[in-house]
A and B are shown apart, each in its own frame.
Chain A
């Protein structure tokens, strides 16, 4: 009853249940902490050019975008924040009726000190439509979204800024 094996067994069982309780408390308590920071998103330029996709060896139209982000996401950093995944999404409906959501830019924020985003940038991923052309697309909606990734617990999502109804600049269109 009181041999070494049973003592080791008891202690490890006790420790692991303590650990489970602690992690459960951390995961649940961070759900009570709700921050909804908002920032501003400015689309500086949006253009369409014909480019080649190397993987398919074929040419198609691609959307390019220049933007400015000013968003203070520091309130999202609390005791259970491992990192933020922030991305800029373009949303549009094609002439074929397909609704498209495409990430054009993303960034991983790992420290609270880096969470005040002041970005003056361009797309990392050009927008590519399944139809190879953007003919008949009235406008694009851009959204800055974030995914809070915890040390332990549930992943949460949110939206930090929007810029709706951005028409693509047709003058830079050379087809």
Chain B
């Protein structure tokens, strides 16, 4: 199956191999640029996240893909679904806002573009109690802990990454396969 490819690989030589490496690198670089650019527009460090737990069932299941935005001038409301990460937590959590407490704007910080300081309490739809026990000793969440607000939803697609996490061999096989294809393709 690969004898033909190998033959052409010999014929094309070292320069071709270098060109393919360059192509591969530019694909990776443009992917990274797209991701970071999306992050800049939506103002979050990770604009797309995969649901990892069942605490928002039946709304979100493991492997669903969520699209986040986090406009700096917008306050959070009850019912918003936020992704947050408190200091010391290993993974971000996707839960719904149950309470918001907006501090009054102090005279010193009257700037119409920045919203007043806001305290949040969240809860998973599928959990019985609010998230107080998950906050590592904090009483409320603040804007700094919130990665973003869920705006869009795409089911199942993120399961690929969960599968790759659960079975690392799959990840290596996929990466190796892609790299090999990029090197031996004649285009």
Contacts and interface: CB of A to CB of B under 8 A. Distances in A.
Given A98-B101, A150-B153, A154-B152, A85 B119 contact: no
A155 B81 contact: yes
B77 interface: yes
A43 interface: no
Contact of B79 (A3, A55, A100, A103): A103
Interface of A: 3, 23, 27, 55, 82-83, 85, 87, 89, 96-103, 108, 110, 125, 130, 145, 147, 149-155, 157
B96 interface: yes
A85 B155 contact: no
B103 A103 contact: no
Give the interface size class of chain B: 20 to 34
Of B58, B99, B102, B119, most A-chain CB atoms within 10 Å: B99
B155 A151 contact: yes
24 contacts: A3-B1, A23-B154, A27-B152, A82-B58, A82-B59, A83-B58, A87-B79, A96-B104, A97-B104, A98-B101, A100-B99, A102-B78, A103-B78, A103-B99, A108-B58, A145-B78, A145-B79, A147-B79, A150-B153, A151-B155, A153-B152, A155-B151, A155-B153, A157-B79
Contacts of B151: 154-155
B182 interface: no
Interface string B100-143: 11111000000000000001000001000010110000000000
Q: Which 6 pairs of residues, A with B, have the shortest CB-CB distance?
A: A97-B104, A99-B102, A101-B100, A102-B99, A103-B98, A101-B78
B150 interface: yes
Contacts of A155: 81, 150-153
Contact of A152 (B119, B150, B155): B155
Of A89, A100, A101, A152, most B-chain CB atoms within 10 Å: A101
Given A102-B98, A125-B98, A155-B150, 14 more contacts: A3-B1, A82-B59, A87-B79, A99-B101, A101-B78, A101-B100, A102-B100, A103-B99, A147-B79, A149-B153, A152-B154, A153-B153, A155-B152, A157-B79
Given A85-B125, A97-B104, A154-B151, A149 B59 contact: yes
B70 to A, nearest CB: 15
Contacts of B81: 155
A151 B13 CA distance: 50
Given A23-B154, A89-B78, A103-B78, A130 B101 contact: yes
Nearest to A96: B104
Contacts of B78: 87, 89, 101-103, 145
Nearest to B117: A98
A96 B98 CA distance: 21
Nearest to A97: B104
Interface string B151-173: 11111000000000000000000
Contacts of B155: 151-152
Contacts of B1: 3
